[in-house]
A = this chain, B = another copy of it.
Amino acid sequence: MILLKCRYIATFNTREEILENAYIGIDEKSGKIEYIGKEKPQKPYDEVIELNKHVVMPSFINAHTHVPMVLLRGLKDDVDLHTWLNKYIFPAEDRLKATDIYYGALQGIAELIESGTSLFIDMYFYEEEIAKAVMESGVRAILSRGVLDITENRTPETEVKKTLDFLAFLERMWSSNLETRDRIFFALGPHAPYTCSRELLILMREKAEELKKKLNNVWINIHVAETRNEFEDFLEKTGKSPVSYLDSIGFLGSDVLSIHTIWVRDEDLAVLAKNKVIVVHNPSSNLKLGSGIAPVPKMLEKGIRVLIGTDSAASNNRLDILSEARLAALLHKGITGNPAILPAKKILRMLTIDAAKALGLDGLLGSIEVGKQADLVIFNIKKTLQAYPFHDIYSLIIYSLDLRAVEKVMVKGRWVYDNGQFLTIKNIEKILERNAETRRRIEDELGI
């Protein structure tokens, strides 16, 4: 039993309370918050931690990444998407082995953790290796095996099989380690409407419906309308935009995470809103690849839930959700000319309670409330100059602080990060060296 004595608690509860000089009592066994209050609880706690220079808030949800791609960070920058993918990323990925993915994932998860993230949504291959890394590192994740069937030797059936094989793997993990049931979640991962056949997309929708009978949560995450080319090709070939095409085949729903979603017309936004689709905004990656800027303020106006993701370190090149949040907060003000849009508190909600609600996980996490899981990020607001002076906690975190201020991260009542130390990921230095070695091997093989 741990008791945190906190200078500030930004609860993100329904009243959006900020508590000053208050306590959080945590039951490590269940991972639950069992007490919140200004009074010191009577009950004895094993450990009392003084956080008198700190802001405690719910830890962050990074809604889109490909976590092992730290291995391909900066493989090539400042080139167009087509060159980037076909000349660099795809050939490099062909050379990645299962073990590489495992160690890449461990490093990626460490980077997520140090920016205060406790839950991430992932799509990649060798996803079992990523699941192992998540299991060991103690964070939460929604994991999907990325599938597509436009390339040789792949059919809708091979891709459904990969998906179900990955689910079977998770089911074994859930049975052998009950604790992972509310930590590691399954999603379907059709890559994109332009890389998946209509048949595969329809099969994915059918599987989602079928799986809902046995799983509490099933999501489908898919890259949608990322580039102008994709949008224009769809219009030319089908007479429909990517969004309206997905709607026409009955693919969309409130379980769909539509990633990027940059090239959308007003009627596409109406379709997304009608189907309660969740959009995931990845501003750094979208800017860096020259893809464009998703009309987030318009989406929010229409009632579409928008979450924030970093995308992978190959295109970002960081997995720092704080940088991403600041960029999202700034970017749309400049684009719309409205400095009042996407205020700091709203951005932080998009990373916490709003994300949890959109994912249907708000019974479990997303705010600091008794009965919810203790998933916490703790900022030291005396550690960096940027914290002096401050007026508003939300604005402090979004506009002023950087990763130097992230002091501790707790997931499920367990410390995973403390003052630069990764408590659940052992030998990070060795992992970094191994990953650098993997990268050298790939660069050698590719001759770059």
* A177 CB to nearest B CB, Å: 27
Is A344 a contact of B395 with CB atoms below 8 Å?
no
Is B343 a contact of A399 with CB atoms below 8 Å?
no
9-residue interface stretch from A107-115, A121-129, A242-250? A107-115
Is B385 a contact of A74 with CB atoms below 8 Å?
no
Q: How many copies of this protein are present in the complex?
A: 2
- Find chain B residues with CB under 8 A from A448 CB: 391
Contact (A334, B293) CB under 8 Å given A73-B390, A339-B288, A395-B317: yes
Is B78 a contact of A435 with CB atoms below 8 Å?
no
Nearest B residue to A293, CB-CB: B334
A205 at the interface (CB under 8 A from B): no
Is B317 a contact of A400 with CB atoms below 8 Å?
yes
- Find chain B residues with CB under 8 A from A291 CB: 334, 337
Nearest B residue to A396, CB-CB: B74
Contact with B along A204-238 (1 / 0, CB 8 A): 00000000000000000000000010000000000
A7 at the interface (CB under 8 A from B): no
Is A288 a contact of B74 with CB atoms below 8 Å?
no
Contact with B along A77-110 (1 / 0, CB 8 A): 1111100100000000000000000000001001
* Cross-chain contact of A395 among B70, B77, B392 (Cβ < 8 A): B77
A290 at the interface (CB under 8 A from B): yes
A334 to B84, CA, bound (A): 16
Is A339 a contact of B290 with CB atoms below 8 Å?
yes
Contact with B along A319-342 (1 / 0, CB 8 A): 010010011011101111111110
Is A337 a contact of B385 with CB atoms below 8 Å?
no
- Find chain B residues with CB under 8 A from A228 CB: 337
Is B391 a contact of A339 with CB atoms below 8 Å?
no
A326 to B316, CA, bound (A): 11
Is A400 a contact of B78 with CB atoms below 8 Å?
no
- Find chain B residues with CB under 8 A from A81 CB: 339
Is A339 a contact of B84 with CB atoms below 8 Å?
yes
From residue 409 to 444 of chain A, which have CB atoms closer than 8 A to chain B?
428, 432, 435-436, 438-440, 443
Is B107 a contact of A388 with CB atoms below 8 Å?
yes
- Find chain B residues with CB under 8 A from A388 CB: 70, 73, 107, 432, 435-436
* Cross-chain contact of A286 among B334, B390, B440 (Cβ < 8 A): B334
From residue 151 to 199 of chain A, which have CB atoms closer than 8 A to chain B?
none
A76 at the interface (CB under 8 A from B): yes
Interface residues on A, range: 35 or more
Is A391 a contact of B334 with CB atoms below 8 Å?
no
- Find chain B residues with CB under 8 A from A329 CB: 288
A447 at the interface (CB under 8 A from B): no
A75 at the interface (CB under 8 A from B): yes
- Find chain B residues with CB under 8 A from A436 CB: 388-389
- Find chain B residues with CB under 8 A from A392 CB: 74, 77
- Find chain B residues with CB under 8 A from A286 CB: 334
A436 to B390, CA, bound (A): 8
A329 to B74, CA, bound (A): 14
A22 at the interface (CB under 8 A from B): no
* Cross-chain contact of A318 among B78, B335, B336, B386 (Cβ < 8 A): B386
Is B71 a contact of A389 with CB atoms below 8 Å?
yes
Is B320 a contact of A287 with CB atoms below 8 Å?
no
A75-B391, A77-B343 given. 13 additional CB < 8 A pairs?
A70-B388, A73-B400, A78-B395, A111-B385, A228-B337, A283-B334, A284-B330, A288-B330, A290-B333, A317-B399, A388-B435, A391-B443, A404-B404
22 CB < 8 A contacts A-B: A70-B385, A71-B389, A74-B395, A74-B396, A77-B344, A78-B395, A80-B340, A81-B339, A283-B334, A287-B331, A288-B333, A290-B336, A290-B341, A291-B337, A317-B386, A317-B399, A318-B399, A320-B386, A388-B436, A389-B438, A391-B443, A391-B448
Give chain A's interface residues, CB within 8 Å of chain B.
70-71, 73-81, 84, 107, 110-111, 114, 228, 283-284, 286-293, 316-318, 320, 323, 326-327, 329-331, 333-341, 343-344, 385-386, 388-392, 395-396, 399-400, 402-404, 428, 432, 435-436, 438-440, 443, 448
